[in-house]
Every structure is written in C-alpha cells, then in structure tokens.
A and B are shown apart, each in its own frame.
Chain A
C-alpha cells in the first residue's frame, strides 16, 4: 500500500524491557512525526524529523525514549526500561513539505499499541 505503515500493531511487554516501534512513511515524504495517544486523550508530540535537519526532540518525555530515522525514510522509536505509564498508542505520521514549509496535512499510520505489564 501507499500509506504510512507501522509495526508491530500490538506489543505487550513486561516492565523494564526495551521495545522498538517501526514506521515506514509514505515514499517521498520528507517530514516524519511520532505522537503518543493515551486512551481517550489527545495526541502528545514526541519527535519530528525534517529532511537532513537535526530532529526536534522536544517532546520526548524522558531519556528512556529515543528515535532515529535512517536514510531519510524508515524510523524507529525505542523505549528503554519500559514503565507502565508508557502504555499508549504510538502514532507515526509523515507529510510533504514545499520549500521546507509544512503543508499542514499529516498522513497517519494505524499506530502501535503498547501495553506494559
């Protein structure tokens, strides 16, 4: 398909374990975002990648969270030493930019639901 793809769709892990969540953005989209959404809540910004620029990491809640984007395409969000409060849906989105400017339209994946026991 041509949409944003995330894996795994569901992940159950034990407290203290590390997890990796993957995002394949739409081909040609230079901007990539990670958000976190707890049940019934809004979207909490985590990190933003734009082309070759340094990522905006201002939303990462702690140093247990990190993300990378390889080759300007696939991104991996890593959570180390998971805690129960990390349980949420992690959403990835990508978008086109024009001259470095955001178009305002994000395309979201279906998310990765993380449950920490």
Chain B
C-alpha cells in the first residue's frame, strides 16, 4: 500500500522559517508535489520534485530524498497569509512511467502568529 505522513500542525511567527516534513511508504513513486489550501478554498500547486534535491520557487523550497523516503517543504520569511494547510502528494509509479494517480497526505495546518 501507500501512505504519506505529515505533522498535523505547525506554528511559527511572522518572518521565521518553517519546515514541513513528509515521509512516505509506497511501493514505488515518480515524484513528490506540494499543495497549499486556505480554509474554504481549493488546493493550489506549490512545487514538484521529480528528482532528488532542492527546488526553489521564491520564498518556498521543496526537497526530496528517495533513498530516505523523505521530503520537505521549506517556507521562508513567513507571512500571515501563509497560514493554511499544506499537503504533500506522490505520483505513483507503474512500469516505466507513472500512473498519474496522486495520493495525498493528511495535511499540515500551519499557523503563523504575529
């Protein structure tokens, strides 16, 4: 089977840096994505790691290590508007390609305090 684990809640202050971890147990996967969801809103895409290493997009960075079955999302210079839920998701692997099926973690609620 497949499962992804994330902390349920993280709290940080404005201007700080926070790291949200995602560990996974799957039979094989193709890549790791991160999504943000504000209360009552639709999930929005943040980043995708197809390869090991760090991907940087502005204040957000994402990291993947397949050997450690581990990834994380790093948010820098936190702002109040970053308060939201963050989900990691894996694209499952089938044969030489990917199924396209994305399995999501249960999400991490980030609360940014003044």
Contact = CB atoms under 8 A, between A and B. Distances in A.
Interface in B18-53: 30-33, 35, 41-45, 48, 50
Nearest to A105: B45
A50 B44 contact: no
Max chain B Cβ within 10 angstroms of own Cβ: one of A91, A100, A105, A109: A105
B98 A102 contact: yes
Interface residues of A, number: 28
Nearest to A42: B106
B102 A106 contact: yes
B91 A102 contact: yes
Given A104-B31, A104-B48, A104-B50, A91 B105 contact: no
Q: Is the interface of B mostly helix, strand, loop or mixed?
A: strand
Contacts of B75: none
Given A101-B97, A102-B98, A109 B104 contact: no
Max chain B Cβ within 10 angstroms of own Cβ: one of A58, A102, A103: A102
A94 B78 CA distance: 30
A110 B87 contact: no
B71 interface: no
A35 B48 contact: no
Interface string A41-84: 11111001010000010100000000000000000000000000
Given A45-B102, A48-B101, A104 B43 contact: no
Going nearest first, the 7 A-B pairs with the smallest beta carbon separation are A104-B48, A42-B106, A102-B100, A108-B42, A43-B104, A105-B45, A104-B33
30 contacts: A33-B101, A33-B102, A41-B107, A42-B104, A43-B89, A43-B104, A45-B101, A45-B102, A45-B103, A45-B104, A48-B99, A48-B101, A50-B100, A56-B99, A91-B42, A91-B43, A93-B43, A101-B30, A101-B97, A101-B98, A102-B31, A102-B91, A104-B50, A104-B102, A105-B33, A105-B45, A106-B35, A106-B102, A108-B43, A110-B41
Interface of B: 30-33, 35, 41-45, 48, 50, 87, 89, 91, 97-107
